[in-house]
Amino acid sequence: MLDLQNVTKSFGKHLTAVADLSLRLEPGVVGLIGHNGAGKSTLMQMIATLTKPSSGRILFDGVDIAAKPEAIRRRLGYLPQDFGVYRNVSALEFMQYFAALKGVRDPARIRRLLELVNLHEQAGRMASTFSGGMLRRLGIAQALLNDPDVLVVDEPTAGLDPEERLRFRNLLAELGFNKLVIISTHIVSDVETIAGRLAIMKSGRLVACDTPDAILGRARGQVWSASVDAAEYDVLRATTHVLQALRQGERIALRIAHPSLPCANAQPSEPSLEEALMAQRYAVREAA
Amino acid sequence: MNMHIVRTLALLEARVRLRRTSTLVTLLAVAALSWLIVVDPAGGQTLMAIGGARVRYTSSMLALGSAAQASLLFALAGFYLLRGRMAEDQRSGLGGVIGASALGGRAFVLGRWCGGVLYLLALIGASMATVLACHLVRGEGPVELDVYLSTYLVVLGPMALFTAGCAVLWESWAPLMGKRGDLLYFVVWAGQMGMLPAVTQGPVAATLPFDFSGMSAVIAALSAHVDIHNMSLGIADFDPKLTPLTLPASPSLLLLRADIVAMRAASALLAMLPLWLALGLFHRFSPDRVKAARAGTRRSPLAVLDAWLRPLARLAQPLFGLAARLPGVPGQAMADVALTLGTAPTAIALLLAAQLLALVLPTAMLAPLVLACVAFWGVLVSDLSTRDFDAGSAVLGTAVPGGAARRYWRQLAATLLLGLMFTGVAALRLLAAEPLRALALPGGLFALAAFATMLGRTSGSARTFLVLFLFGLYMGIQIHHVPMADVIGFHGTATLMSVLAWSAMGAVAACAGHLWNRRPVHPS
């Protein structure tokens, strides 16, 4: 469906945001994970045709979207991390405006989408008075107006309360049943339960793309738990990657990412997805 | 107050402004305008003509003439160029950081004001440097730098202090924020221009210190030597058969007269009044006061009217449906029209009223009606090409079919379409009686729409077009006999050539904006 071939994006001579990235994406939820500055947003913006690759190609059903952006725009829904709304515009008018821009003729669809995101009772209210969570919901409704085949969502749960976060996640998971949903985030819990695949970026490069189970499997034997004193902790902090440190009386309970036994009393431990990703990043750093 | 902090803030403010691309564009525009106003007499036009005779391009004449022109421009444009920094702080969230810091509010306001004055001085400097260069090419006497400096100081000094003070006050006090503040300043500026006839009545009038622009000082200085009732300042025609006139070389005989210097000194003192008010009224980004300002937009007369007329917004909803059915640019332009009308129900009411009046008024009354419609339209559409960016929804509009490139053209089309909706019926009626006047209207509207879209896109601010539009409107009403000044056919002096010229300029502006819009930018 979406085929990224050796995609590079540079800004000037010295900043390469995305470097030689190749990836093939099919319908389902894909989590794009990486720390701040890893190149996730730039990659999302290239997929959303906001910017063009410096080199390489992004093919959507075989068509290069840098050369023919309209090939994807009609089938694309995009929700950026931050967006605003016009003043003096109701939620309904906001939706009507974007429906017109996208050529969506069915007025009932606007109503259905507002119901889907639970804003139908607020349709006549000025969108500029919405809370952050309501704005994100309005944003997703806007992104779904044209029934997109590709939904690109940047940091979807930023600013949402736990209940809205859960609701939002479930909505994205349902959409991923038959569409390609690309979710960019640095919060692993946003995607760990809904993403079929995780693409991990670091410094503009794709360092892994696999299922969550496979990533967890690779991390087994690299995550350890140990109970140490303060002096041992100082040594371990300098030589290993400490994932968690919790003081328990005189001792400190640690969880550590390391390819081999980090200290004598360390025990192998079942990693969480976040720990597995940290272990993977650590392994990449070690290899570099 | 810690003056070291004020100095640091002022320099930072000046640097922030001067490093912007828009400043480079502004400096180039100022240089181009300054070069254009010192017109080459070989072409039959001059900067100053008195009784049909041109005035020689000496240092005193070029300094006085160019300073007068600069005062007109900077007293108006300067305000709009300076305005907006505190709104930026608010939008970026830095306002809260500044408000929560130990920095004193007075030091902050004073720093901003000093930075604004420095910025205006840089623009004035660019203007003077251009005129000096022009003097070397077209001058008819030696370049006397002291004449230029003293003239610019007396004419433009109080103007710079007042303009920067107003810009700071308008941002520091909630009721003056927003578009209605922009319009209010235009009234203030026009009020200063309204004082000018008093100068021609005789000795320096007591109210003239309130003319901060400096035009009154120029007229008072000239009135002692020439018949100012027959004077043309700007790009003026002259009779080459008449002997050219020469203004006194010594500044003490012109501007540096005791009464004029005293008047300008009084102006300079009064020019500090807005700053003084700003120091006391500064909101310090307090949410209570800044949010009160936003809420205040609902209490402003126009906002109250919009609230009353809110049911009329429903009339715009069928346009959304129509927009969805139309393909490509026409459909998206119609969506922008619908959004513009839906957010300003007053516009819908005025649109309906304009159609009714255009049908019932006698033909002779159509020109003032069209002028009123165009004035409202100009204010209405001034932010059409910037509202996506102002609202933070630009990326959403970029990801829709057509992307950023089509957005530019659809916004231009929507701007023009709104203009035609307001004036179309009147234009059709004029077509039978005065075809050329009726032709001037769409030509002028196209040019204005192109400039509105291009300037909004290149400067990123609705104010750039708004200030030029209001200035042009004011000048267009004042100038009766110049075809090129009759952009929309208000006076009936537009010719086929002037209509074609404005249409061509509109096309050039539209293409320039398109090229700017296509440049690669980092989307985030």
- Average pLDDT (A45-55) is 90
Check: CB of residue B321 under 8 Å from CB of residue B327.
no
Question: Does B125 or B462 have the greater pLDDT score?
Answer: B125
Q: How far is CA B363 from CA B270, B374, B428, B437, in A?
A: 47, 17, 11, 12
Q: What is the pLDDT of residue B521?
A: 63
Q: How many CA atoms lie within 13 A of B250 on its CB side?
A: 3
Under DSSP, the state recorded for A11 is E
Q: Is residue B224 part of a domain?
A: yes
Residue A93: list chain B partners with CB under 8 A.
313, 317, 320, 339, 342-343
- Which of A58-72, A149-163, B491-505 has the lowest average pLDDT? A149-163
Q: Rounded mean pLDDT of chain A?
A: 89
Q: Is residue B524 part of a domain?
A: no
User: What type of residue sits at position A170?
Assistant: N
Q: Which CATH superfamily is domain A2-216 in?
A: P-loop containing nucleotide triphosphate hydrolases (3.40.50.300)
- Average pLDDT (A150-164) is 84
Statement to judge: residues B291 and B395 lie in one domain: no
Indicate which of A83, A88, A130 best probes the interface with B, i.e. most B CBs within 10 Å of its own CB: A88
Interval A219-270: pLDDT, tens: 888 899 999 999 999 999 988 889 999 999 889 999 998 888 988 889 999 9
Structural domain spans, chain A: 2-216, 220-287
In the sheet that A2-11 helps form, which strands lie side by side, from edge to edge? A15-25, A2-11, A55-60, A63-64
Residue B404: list chain A partners with CB under 8 A.
50
Interval A163-184: pLDDT, tens: 888 888 888 899 999 899 999 9
Beta strand A241-248 pairing with A251-257: antiparallel
Statement to judge: residues B461 and B514 lie in one domain: yes
CB contact under 8 A, B401 and A103: yes
- Nearest-neighbour CA in chain A from B390: distance (Å): 8
Statement to judge: residues B284 and B361 lie in one domain: no
Q: Is residue B407 part of a domain?
A: yes
Q: What is the pLDDT of residue B375?
A: 93
Q: What is the pLDDT of residue B398?
A: 87
Contact residues, chain A to chain B, C-beta under 8 Å: 11, 41-42, 45, 48-52, 69-70, 73-74, 76, 78, 80, 82-89, 93, 96-105, 107, 139, 142
Q: Which residue has the tokens 């005189």?
A: A250
Statement to judge: residues B271 and B318 lie in one domain: no
CB contact under 8 A, A86 and B403: no
Indicate which of B322, B393, B417, B518 best probes the interface with A, i.e. most A CBs within 10 Å of its own CB: B393
Instruction: Pick the closest to residue B159 from B262, B85, B92, B77 (CA basis).
Output: B77
Which of B240, B267, B295 lies at the terminal end of a domain, its last residue? B295
Statement to judge: residues B233 and B323 lie in one domain: no
Q: Is residue B43 part of a domain?
A: yes
Q: What is the pLDDT of residue A98?
A: 92
Cβ neighbours of B58 (radius 10 Å): 21
Query: Could you tell me how far CA B193 lies from the centroid of its own chain?
Result: 14
Statement to judge: residues B262 and B352 lie in one domain: no
Which of B248, B277, B295 lies at the terminal end of a domain, its last residue? B295
User: What type of residue sits at position B459?
Assistant: S
CB contact under 8 A, B401 and A70: yes
Check: CB of residue B395 under 8 Å from CB of residue B523.
yes
- Average pLDDT (B5-19) is 87
Beta strand A205-210 pairing with A197-202: antiparallel
Domain count, chain B: 2
Statement to judge: residues B308 and B213 lie in one domain: no
Q: What is the pLDDT of residue B300?
A: 58
Indicate which of B398, B409, B517 best probes the interface with A, i.e. most A CBs within 10 Å of its own CB: B398
Rounded to 5°, the CA angle B391-B516-A79 comes to: 35
Instruction: Tell me whether B512 touches chain A (CB under 8 Å).
Output: no
Statement to judge: residues B28 and B151 lie in one domain: yes
Q: What is the pLDDT of residue B485?
A: 87
Range(s) of the domain holding residue B430: 300-518
Check: CB of residue A191 under 8 Å from CB of residue A251.
no
Across the A/B interface, how many CB contacts are shorter than 8 Å? 105
Q: What is the pLDDT of residue B120?
A: 94
Q: What whole-number distance in Å separates Cα of residue B499 and Cα of residue B235? A: 20
Check: CB of residue A218 under 8 Å from CB of residue A280.
yes
Least CB-CB distance to B393: which of A11, A86, A105?
A: A86
Which of B276, B295, B314 lies at the terminal end of a domain, its last residue? B295
H-type helices in B1-142, by residue range? 3-18, 21-37, 59-82, 85-92, 94-100, 105-138
Beta-strand (E) ranges in chain A? 2-11, 15-25, 28-33, 55-60, 63-64, 76-79, 150-154, 180-185, 197-202, 205-210, 223-228, 241-248, 251-257, 267-268
Q: What is the pLDDT of residue B37?
A: 86
Residue A49: list chain B partners with CB under 8 A.
398-399, 403
Check: CB of residue B76 under 8 Å from CB of residue B471.
yes
Statement to judge: residues B100 and B214 lie in one domain: yes
Q: Is residue B523 part of a domain?
A: no
CB contact under 8 A, B402 and A70: yes
Check: CB of residue B33 under 8 Å from CB of residue B73.
yes
Statement to judge: residues B280 and B419 lie in one domain: no
B345-360 and B301-308 helices, crossing angle to 10°: 80
Q: What whole-number distance in Å separates Cα of residue B490 and Cα of residue B484? A: 12
Statement to judge: residues B268 and B307 lie in one domain: no
- Nearest-neighbour CA in chain A from B320: distance (Å): 6
Question: Does B196 or B318 have the greater pLDDT score?
Answer: B318
Q: What is the pLDDT of residue A288?
A: 47
Beta strand A55-60 pairing with A63-64: antiparallel
Q: What is the pLDDT of residue B15?
A: 87
- Which of B59-73, B285-299, B339-353 has the lowest average pLDDT? B285-299
Query: Looking at the predicted structure, is the pLDDT value of residue B126 above 80?
Result: yes
CB contact under 8 A, A88 and B343: yes
Residue A55: list chain B partners with CB under 8 A.
none
- Nearest-neighbour CA in chain A from B383: distance (Å): 11
Statement to judge: residues B502 and B364 lie in one domain: yes
Q: What whole-number distance in Å separates Cα of residue B336 and Cα of residue B406? A: 12
